[in-house]
Amino acid sequence: MLRRRTAALACILLILTVTPGAAEEPVTFVDTAATATGVAVRVVIPSRHDLVSVSQVGTVGTSVIAATERAAAVAGAKTAPARGFSVGMTALRRADRFVQIAGAGTGRWQFPMSTTALPGEALTVVMSPQVASAVAEGQVVMGRRTADLRGALEGDVVDLVAVDGSVVSFTIGLIADDTVVGGTEIVMSPEEADLLGKVQLTSVLVYAAFDRDRLEAALRAEGLVDAEEFEGVRVRIRRSWWSPDPDATIGLSETKAVLGEFAYQLTTAGVAIDPQWTADHIMYVRFRDVGVKANCNAVIVADLQAALTEVAAAGLAGGIDVSNTNAFGGCFYPRLNRVSGHLGFLSRHSWGQPIDMNTVTNAQGRVPKMDCGIVRIFRKHGFAWGGNFSSLDGMHFEWVGEPRNGFQYPSRYCPNLPGGATQSVGAAPTQRATMFANDGWAVGQDGDG
């Protein structure tokens, strides 16, 4: 095993170069249609083995890792440490030309990219042998939606920003379906993540064939129970066979595809994003019926208005503290995520995607006190609620673009009522398909505040 890891790391080092300031070099853009450069290879659908992800908010504790490993051993399962993080991409290159570049001028502009790092053996079972093979060659795998968003091809190079500020270049060895890679944008090996300085473990993955009942009993015996505290910190446990969670957020690639992708830079004042993107996507709205005023992404405005209108029609408008919401809540606020910012994640408020309301009575980390009637109406109109996040965030309603009031799921707070759906909810994503969707399952469904 050590010999294989050493060889893999040597291979990685051969094809990666550290190039600080790469984005400041002369720019040549690709302006012709993309063409295939090799024979297409069929990507095998991953095995149907069950998967379980055990995490806490941010970095997972060593005691949780040990307890999960013991429980997995009882059930005859394997475990793998997983890392979920966001990394900035300064450019996408094809040979000596730029396909996409984050920006020029003062400061380092970058696109946020959700990334998952897993050992090769786990990748083979959890994703596919092709994914594992590409990563074993010292390359990275990119999800299809993300590749389509920027016109990426296999063989292109991505320039990613390491923790120390240097730029590390990786070759895209495979573009895989989003359901295969579990909703993440980039897949890499732990050794490649080390080169970026992304060393924090964010979850423990339990995989391979195992008996569900034995694993459930073993987890409980270790004190690991979903949404309950383990040594003072709430634990999030996701099973691939569970029904969809109405309060699951959508992955970063889907957010970008629907709400737009922007370049950002970190400054002494916080997070600055492309002002042209802001002008094109963020609008100030005085919402009818309840009196909320906010700067929000234009895409979510109609659904937010519909939710507020129904809240008022149901006689629940008094459950929204308008003055507090207008003064301290709202939608658009570019910044790092308050809970997992140390992993590089931007708050979804940077996209104007959620709205925060009643920030005092539903402060982050406290038991939520939002009226459940309001919660279910917002779910009906395409919003997930933060009251069931790992870091309780009852003020937070995040747009997901589909009705969620019909999902029957054992939520701790404000579970949906039987027959709560008033329209078709369509085909809900499986837990497996979103297992590594960045700041969703991979890092414990962090709250945003």
Q: What is the pLDDT of residue 54?
A: 96
Per cent of the chain over pLDDT 90 is 71
Q: How far apart, in whole angstroms, are the C-alpha atoms of residue 405 and residue 381?
A: 8
Six-digit token pair at 414? 């404000």
Among 37, 189, 58, residue whose Cα is nearest residue 124 = 189
Q: Which residue has the tokens 């897993």?
A: 118
Q: What is the pLDDT of residue 383?
A: 98
- Chain segment 146-183, per-residue pLDDT in tens: 999 999 999 999 999 999 999 999 999 999 999 999 99
Q: What is the pLDDT of residue 112?
A: 96
For residues 3-14, average pLDDT: 38
Residue 40 pLDDT more than 60? no
For residues 355-378, average pLDDT: 95
Residue 132 pLDDT more than 80? yes
Six-digit token pair at 30? 């690709």
Residue 260 pLDDT more than 60? yes
Residue 46 pLDDT more than 90? no
Q: What is the pLDDT of residue 390?
A: 83
Residue 113's H or E segment, with its range, is strand 111-117
- The residue ranking higher by pLDDT, 276 or 57, is 276
The one-letter amino acid code at 87 reads V
SS3 390: coil
Residue 444 pLDDT more than 80? no
Q: Are 114 and 184 in contact (CB under 8 A)?
A: yes
Q: What is the pLDDT of residue 30?
A: 39
Q: What is the pLDDT of residue 432?
A: 64
For residues 78-93, average pLDDT: 96
Q: Which residue has the tokens 């802001």?
A: 278
Q: What is the pLDDT of residue 391?
A: 84
Q: What is the pLDDT of residue 342?
A: 59
Six-digit token pair at 18? 């550290």
| For the chain, domain boundaries | 2-18+47-239, 259-434
- The residue ranking higher by pLDDT, 309 or 106, is 309
Q: What is the pLDDT of residue 431?
A: 64
For residues 191-217, average pLDDT: 95
Residue 25 pLDDT more than 60? no
Give the lowest-confidence range in 266-270, 282-286, 314-318, 431-435: 431-435
Among 261, 307, 320, 280, residue whose Cα is nearest residue 401 = 307
Residue 70 pLDDT more than 60? yes
Q: Indicate if the alpha-carbon torsion angle 91, 92, 98, 101 is positive or negative.
A: negative
The confidence band for 344, taking pLDDT boundaries of 50, 70 and 90, is confident
For residues 282-293, average pLDDT: 98
How high is the mean pLDDT of the chain?
85
SS3 267: strand
